[in-house]
Chain A
Amino acid sequence: MDLSEGSALGVFTCELCELSSPYSFYGQKPPNTRAIVLLEECYGMRDPFCPEREKFLVLGSKCSLCCKTVCVGTDCSLFYTKRFCLPCVRDHLHQFPEQVQNEVQRKKSVQKTSSS
């Protein structure tokens, strides 16, 4: 009945925020998605918030620089042709285009104000 059940390959855990969830595929090709290809090797699962069975949800992948496993959440990583964890983005901030720089800096300030 439930194809999604019992098919977990393991548990994905973000090394930065500790978000964790079982994942059911790893790679560039989510199952049953035909024309769709991912541009990185991803941890993914069936989209639990969507009634349709074939919909997938990418949980995270490895940072292309430091190889840390990170979730796709904007507080942990970003994608710009490749996956970068935010610490790595900050380390190489100047190689990123202005839009990305602004975005990251804005996030920093927001985090500061919210944490203070």
Chain B
Amino acid sequence: MSHEREKSQSWDWDSPQCRAQLDEVFFRQHDYIQTGRTEHKEFWTFFERFQRFKAKKEMSGSKSSRQESDEGKARKKSGSVDLGLPKDYDARYRINISVCSKDIEERLGGSEHRRRRESSGPGRQEITDCRLALLHFLDFNQKQSFNKLSKLRREQKSLPIFQYRDRIVELVRTHPVVVVAGDTGCGKSTQVPQYLLASGFDNIACTQPRRIACISLAKRVSFESLNLYGSKVGYQIRFETSRTTATKLLFMTEGLLLRQIQQDASLGQYQVLIVDEVHERHLHCDFLLGVLRSLLPLRTDLRLVLMSATINIKLFSSYFSDAPVLQVPGRLFPIQVIYQPIPSEEQVSRSEKLDPRPYLRVLQGIDQRYPPEERGDLLLFLSGVAEISTIQEACQAYATHTQRWIVLPLHSTLSLAQQDKVFDISPPGVRKCIISTNIAETSVTIDGVRFVVDSGKVKEMSFDPKAKMQRLQEFWISRASSEQRKGRAGRTGPGVCYRLYAESDYDAFASYPVPEIHRVALDSLILQMMSMGLGDPRTFTFIDPPPASSIQTAVTYLREQGALDEHGELSSIGRLLAQLPVDVVIGKMLVLGSVFKLVEPVLTVAAALSVQSPFLRSAQHNPDCSTARQPLNSNQGDPFTLMNTFNAWVQVKAERGSASRKWCRRRGLEEQRLYEMVNLRRQFKELLRTHGLLEDHAASRAVPQDRARRRERLTERQKLHQLKRDHELQENTKRKVLRLEEGLEGDASSASDGEGASSGKKRKDASEQTVDIQEVKFKLRHNVNELQEAACASADLSSRQQSLLKLVLCRGLYPQLAMPDEHNATRKDSEQVFHTRNKQGVVIHPTSVFAIDPEVLHVPEHESSEFGADKGQSNRHQLLAFVTLLETNKPYVSNCARIPALQALLLVANSVDTNVDCSRLVVDGWLELGLTDGAGAMKVLSSALTLRGEWERQLQAQLGQGGPGSSAGLGLSGPKVSRRELEKLCEGLVRFLLYTEVSYSLRRLAGLQSQNLYIGPQKDPDLSSASSLGSLFPGMKPEPDAIKGGLRVCSYFTYNCLRDSKDLYSECLRSFWSCPHCDLYMPLTPLERMQHEVSCRPPEEQQPEEEAEPESVNTSSSSSSGLTRVYHCDICDKDLTLTSTEILKHKRQHLS
């Protein structure tokens, strides 16, 4: 064998050892390509191919001899200039790169003879081979990158907007406002910012209506401006930013720019503002335009560019004093429009399911007319999710039969993985049939669509101010939407659009969709306007002013919520709420929760209620999911269920990292929502901290971390950052090819169902091999241990904390309350009915825990007396506090919590009215509570008033009434409430909520009853009862109520204004009673009893000064003046100034 040890034989290119030796020559630590990097791996793959290619060439024989003669001839012909080119062609001459590695080679070469026999190191030939391969590899890479660049430049040039490049820059230079109008595909969104950037404008912000567009545009534009790996182009959305100090062009959401204006009214950080998609007329966008319009005169250097589709351009131009308009043609392929109105027998009434026949006919028609080799997918626009599943079912049956379609639904309640499928590619001969809501009209763009089917319908959210209810209604679309849908067929080639309505219908459509500002509740908008100091919202110059009634509703609502005071000015809580990027109700919860030191659970609940539900609708009917979810359910209400879910998820994340994905799938949870929650939660926490509502524990906690731990964390973070970068690089990998069964699986459309299916498994395995990028981002952003601690803290809430949390929720959500119908106990679970103040007959959304378990809302039968005057009396009446009321086919309340009726109402309601003995209470003019035990009623009322007063005082103190200038540190400026005071208040509230044992009836007032509710103003108000009330509710100054009659004790409580036959002092109400604190025993009316109770305190509670006061009948003590009143004794015929107790004692003198 020894003679075979020729070097060429023993050298094995495939051996890792041999390769490693060459790595030592070419790929050292500081070389262009380094061992271990991706490029290094790519080189060796390239090397193998290169060797095979060379071998093949050698096999096919050398042509060099013939070539030589050819070349000889050539040279003779052209005489003038000798280029001095080598005679023999060698691919090597085509490469303009060389690699010098002489130093190493010489070293190896020198030792070659000696080492040759012992070690089979690389010889000259191997090194030459390797170098040649390397040169070709480098050249290949150069070509690849250059081709990318040149393709990119070609594409940029071919965009319709390219010709207008100089004109646009010129216009922006010379005009404060420019409108660029161009249709789909003209390239305005990607190119205009680049043009401005390239021509020297700095600090450009470009707003987008959608977050996802910010990210994708930033990515695309940074790629196009050859800055993919720099940060010249960045984005900023709610939780994420790629902005650095080097960022010159920033894509951001409209909402975020508005928030920035709130911080810095002049927007000094930007030189150019581009507002994109202004034609979509989103609420934020309309508002932003208004704000910018008023900003322009103050910032003459600012440049504003509005970009719009070619819709209603004049509106925008004239709003900005006839700003110049540059109109750019779009780039769409021709689209054939076919009107196929649905015949009347296939049209359906509202309650019925959609008839799939018109849709199936289109599929059949396509199959007949177009050969399957001609690619092109179908996009079908329907109004809503229910419609989609109906048509999907029918199409799927057809697809299974023909094997020529893959049917995929697309709407926002699908899991993200499901949504993502529409971008995958169908196998040859098969078309995708994507059935979508109007999400695919603007938000989601799918390439490769050739056919569009347009139902002409859309479901749109509107706000009903009368019922205070959101309504999702079906409408005909506008002509603009119809054109937009059509355009989706012509993005990549000529297309066809089937309109399932008549041309005459089309002509009758509105030109444009109704702008959002005309459709939605304006609460948050008005609040933001107030905090920006934009003056009276009714006089603000909107581009298209909302109806005055709509503004009025919002103002009233904000006043009810306590965000505005009686004069319509921002209250301290309102100022804070305006800073929080959430609904007013959620913001209120956060503030209230932090005051009660319930921060962790409240943060979770507020975050959970601000994102889409993580519970996938599709998993609703999956028994496995329901079983797995069971332990998460809380019969206290949905906010508690959400909180349990979040806490459990955090535990799983802390213990098992990315295993949480599986955990979620098993429970039918969309993990993305939980990630959103955890991000939002963190943002809330930071906001509370900056507003001084949260003490900073972080500083104290960070200290004990030793250096080793810190370093460990640092290396972990570095690793995570690397993972994130790697992932970002991989992201542009090609789309998957769909399988025919994909649609079938989508039929069940549940991620957890997919787990069982074979293709689902494959998908899952594939996805688990890759990095879970969400997990990486999560770990980068959050400290899991800290979260786990917080989760643990809010997981074992004591019943005391739970009821406080509920109260916080309730006060936050008020007046969004619903009461159960009195006959619910006798109804089926699915037929439970509830009433809100403004809307009767609402039902609980099927996703709510109360839909599964409505019995917890019933008054226990054995506790309510069924007969006589006591009918319906119980101390267990409950109400629902809900987050949303949305009417689709029925009015649904969702995200509900159950709350004890009487206690909660007394603590949060804006208006509590009573009759003379407080046996009858009417809350907010619609809920009537009947308390037969008048004394009990008084007691409950009195403690509620005291608690509320104290709560309000502490809340204001926490928020700090530091005057209007102190908006930055609202919480810090005020005097802090002592811990003892706070604990006492909490204790009082909890006791009141949990242990108020008074029976009452609860009913809703009918329309007529609520009309004749009040006595009305009286000419001769009974001042004596006013003064008696003063003693009943110390510290309050009752005044006659000018409208309701009776006495207005405080802002929310009016005494004795209800029409009532009972007389306060009628003898029949007197009963014998003995005071537990003094030796009083005599017949008293409930009111008298209350008065006594208030003034006669148990000795341990009495103030020292009071104790010192001699209790003589005739002395009027100044220290207890709040409790004394003028009493005229008929027997003595004298006016005496006495406390209530003293009066009673005085009376007793006469009795005995």
> Known: A1-B246, A21-B226, A99-B89. Contact between A78 and B94, CB under 8 A?
yes
> Known: A79-B96, A98-B70. Contact between A54 and B149, CB under 8 A?
no
Q: How far is the CB of B718 from chain A (nearest CB, A)?
A: 16
Q: Is the CB of A97 within 8 A of B85?
A: yes
Most buried by A among B77, B82, B86, B97: B97
Q: Is the CB of A80 within 8 A of B85?
A: yes
Residue of A nearest to B728 (CB): A51
Q: How far is the CB of B82 from chain A (nearest CB, A)?
A: 8
Q: Is the CB of A36 within 8 A of B138?
A: yes
Q: Is the CB of A49 within 8 A of B74?
A: no
Flag the segment in B98-106, B750-758, B1073-1081 that touches A: B98-106
Q: Is the CB of B97 within 8 A of A49?
A: no
Q: Is the CB of B78 within 8 A of A92?
A: yes
Q: Is the CB of A58 within 8 A of B227?
A: no
Q: Give A92 to B74 CA distance when docked, in angstroms.
A: 10
Q: Give A40 to B93 CA distance when docked, in angstroms.
A: 12
The answer, yes or no, to whether A110 is at the interface (CB within 8 Å) is: no
> Known: A57-B149, A95-B83. Contact between A5 and B232, CB under 8 A?
yes
Q: Is the CB of A100 within 8 A of B98?
A: no
Q: Is the CB of A54 within 8 A of B32?
A: yes
Chain B hits for A17, CB < 8 A: 150
Q: Give A21 to B246 CA distance when docked, in angstroms.
A: 20
> Known: A80-B85, A92-B81. Contact between A39 and B146, CB under 8 A?
no
Residue of A nearest to B150 (CB): A73
Q: Give A33 to B649 CA distance when docked, in angstroms.
A: 48
Residue of A nearest to B82 (CB): A95
Residue of A nearest to B87 (CB): A97
Chain A hits for B1128, CB < 8 A: none
Q: Give A96 to B71 CA distance when docked, in angstroms.
A: 8
Residue of B nearest to A4 (CB): B230
Q: Give A98 to B97 CA distance when docked, in angstroms.
A: 23
The answer, yes or no, to whether B228 is at the interface (CB within 8 Å) is: yes
Chain B residue total in the interface (Cβ 8 A): 52
The answer, yes or no, to whether B627 is at the interface (CB within 8 Å) is: no
* B:55-108 near A, CB below 8 Å: 67, 70-71, 74-75, 77-78, 81-83, 85-89, 93-101
Q: Give A38 to B230 CA distance when docked, in angstroms.
A: 26
The prevalent SS among residues of A at the interface is: loop
Q: Give A70 to B87 CA distance when docked, in angstroms.
A: 25
Q: Is the CB of B97 within 8 A of A37?
A: yes
Q: Is the CB of B94 within 8 A of A79?
A: yes
Q: Name the one of A1, A20, A98 contacting B231, with C-beta atoms under 8 angstroms.
A: A1
Q: Is the CB of A47 within 8 A of B246?
A: no
Chain A hits for B67, CB < 8 A: 97-98
Q: Is the CB of B145 within 8 A of A57?
A: yes
Q: Is the CB of B93 within 8 A of A2?
A: no
The answer, yes or no, to whether A112 is at the interface (CB within 8 Å) is: no
Chain B hits for A97, CB < 8 A: 67, 70-71, 85, 87-89
The answer, yes or no, to whether B984 is at the interface (CB within 8 Å) is: no
Chain A hits for B232, CB < 8 A: 2, 5
Q: Is the CB of A58 within 8 A of B96?
A: yes
Chain B hits for A37, CB < 8 A: 97-100
Q: Is the CB of A57 within 8 A of B231?
A: no
Q: Give A72 to B140 CA distance when docked, in angstroms.
A: 13
Q: Give A37 to B98 CA distance when docked, in angstroms.
A: 5
Q: Mark B1-36, 1 if CB is under 8 A from A, else 0.
A: 000000000000000000000000010001110000
Q: How far is the CB of A24 from chain B (nearest CB, A)?
A: 11
Q: Name the one of B99, B229, B729 contacting A48, with C-beta atoms under 8 angstroms.
A: B229
Q: Mark A65-90, 1 if CB is under 8 A from B, else 0.
A: 10000011100001111110000000
Chain A hits for B87, CB < 8 A: 97
Q: How far is the CB of A10 from chain B (nearest CB, A)?
A: 14
Chain B hits for A73, CB < 8 A: 146-147, 150
Chain A hits for B226, CB < 8 A: 21-22, 45, 48
Q: Name the one of A21, A39, A48, A50 contacting B97, with C-beta atoms under 8 angstroms.
A: A39
Q: Give A58 to B232 CA distance when docked, in angstroms.
A: 22
Residue of A nearest to B225 (CB): A48
Residue of A nearest to B37 (CB): A52
Q: Give A96 to B75 CA distance when docked, in angstroms.
A: 9
Chain B hits for A99, CB < 8 A: 89
Residue of A nearest to B230 (CB): A2
Q: Is the CB of B89 within 8 A of A40?
A: no
Q: Give A40 to B223 CA distance when docked, in angstroms.
A: 28
The answer, yes or no, to whether B1071 is at the interface (CB within 8 Å) is: no
> Known: A21-B226, A97-B71, A99-B89. Contact between A83 and B96, CB under 8 A?
yes
Most buried by A among B96, B98, B226, B725: B96
Q: Name the one of B82, B93, B146 contacting A72, with C-beta atoms under 8 angstroms.
A: B146
The answer, yes or no, to whether B762 is at the interface (CB within 8 Å) is: no
Chain A hits for B26, CB < 8 A: 35
Residue of B nearest to A100 (CB): B89
Q: Give A51 to B786 CA distance when docked, in angstroms.
A: 34
Residue of B nearest to A94 (CB): B74
* A:1-31 near B, CB below 8 Å: 1-2, 4-5, 17, 19-22
Q: Give A58 to B150 CA distance when docked, in angstroms.
A: 12
Q: Is the CB of A33 within 8 A of B32?
A: yes
Chain B hits for A79, CB < 8 A: 93-96
Q: Is the CB of B96 within 8 A of A49?
A: no
Q: Is the CB of B145 within 8 A of A47?
A: yes
Q: Name the one of B31, B75, B94, B142 contacting A34, with C-beta atoms under 8 angstroms.
A: B31
Chain A hits for B781, CB < 8 A: none
Chain B hits for A100, CB < 8 A: 89
Chain A hits for B229, CB < 8 A: 2, 4, 48, 50-51, 53
Residue of B nearest to A103 (CB): B94
Residue of B nearest to A42 (CB): B96
The answer, yes or no, to whether B244 is at the interface (CB within 8 Å) is: yes
Q: Is the CB of B97 within 8 A of A38?
A: yes
Chain B hits for A83, CB < 8 A: 96
Q: Name the one of A20, A21, A34, A39 contacting B32, with C-beta atoms under 8 angstroms.
A: A34
Q: How far is the CB of B103 from chain A (nearest CB, A)?
A: 9
Q: Is the CB of B244 within 8 A of A1?
A: yes
* B:693-740 near A, CB below 8 Å: 725, 729
Q: Give A92 to B78 CA distance when docked, in angstroms.
A: 7
The answer, yes or no, to whether B41 is at the interface (CB within 8 Å) is: no
Chain B hits for A72, CB < 8 A: 142, 146
Most buried by B among A38, A61, A92, A97: A97
Chain B hits for A22, CB < 8 A: 226
Most buried by B among A17, A65, A98: A98
Residue of A nearest to B729 (CB): A51
Q: Is the CB of A51 within 8 A of B725?
A: yes
* B:348-380 near A, CB below 8 Å: none
Chain B hits for A57, CB < 8 A: 142, 145-146, 149
User: 6 tightest CB-CB pairs across the interface, nearest first?
Assistant: A48-B226, A97-B89, A2-B230, A94-B74, A79-B96, A39-B96
Give residues in B with beta carbon < 8 Å to A: 26, 30-32, 37, 39, 67, 70-71, 74-75, 77-78, 81-83, 85-89, 93-101, 138, 142, 145-150, 153, 223, 226-232, 244-246, 725, 729
24 residue pairs of the A-B complex, CB under 8 angstroms, read A1-B231, A20-B153, A36-B32, A36-B100, A36-B138, A37-B98, A38-B97, A38-B98, A39-B96, A48-B226, A48-B229, A51-B725, A54-B32, A58-B142, A61-B96, A65-B83, A72-B142, A79-B93, A80-B94, A92-B78, A96-B85, A97-B85, A97-B88, A97-B89
Beyond the given A94-B78, A97-B67, please list 7 additional residue pairs across the A-B interface where CB-CB is below 8 A. Answer: A35-B26, A36-B100, A38-B98, A72-B146, A94-B74, A95-B75, A97-B85
